[in-house]
Amino acid sequence: MTDALELVDNDFLRQFELKIEDDLAKIEYSLQDRKIFLTKMCIPESITSEEFETDFLTLVFENISERNISVVPTSPEIAKFVRRNRKYQKMLPVGIRI
């Protein structure tokens, strides 16, 4: 579903955005030093696909991985995603375990 969609890093609003038809899914973040804190995920109620959340988070983590910065998930849904996807656990800063 997210293959043809473009992930936007809106650094003015400090959020990753994915526009789906007339809706906007977003993950808010705070960038400090070489760490990005993923603080809140908002997916519109009109998006009912169960795999959308996973696909959206995968796009965000791949984008962050390309920048070579650490990720600190402070949102419960995002922490759960990291626990289920071991390949993203290496992106956590030293000393942070989920």
> According to the model, what pLDDT value does residue 3 have?
54
For 40-91, what is each residue's pLDDT tens digit? 999 999 888 878 999 999 999 999 999 999 999 999 999 999 999 999 999 9
> According to the model, what pLDDT value does residue 4 have?
60
> According to the model, what pLDDT value does residue 53 have?
92
> According to the model, what pLDDT value does residue 15 have?
97
Using CB atoms within 10 Å of the CB of residue 41, give its burial: 0 to 12 exposed, 13 to 18 middle, 19+ buried: buried
> According to the model, what pLDDT value does residue 20 have?
86
What pTM did the predictor assign? 0.90
Domains and CATH numbers, the chain: 7-91 (3.40.630.30)
CB 30 within 8 A of CB 57: no
Residue type, 47: I
> According to the model, what pLDDT value does residue 49 have?
82
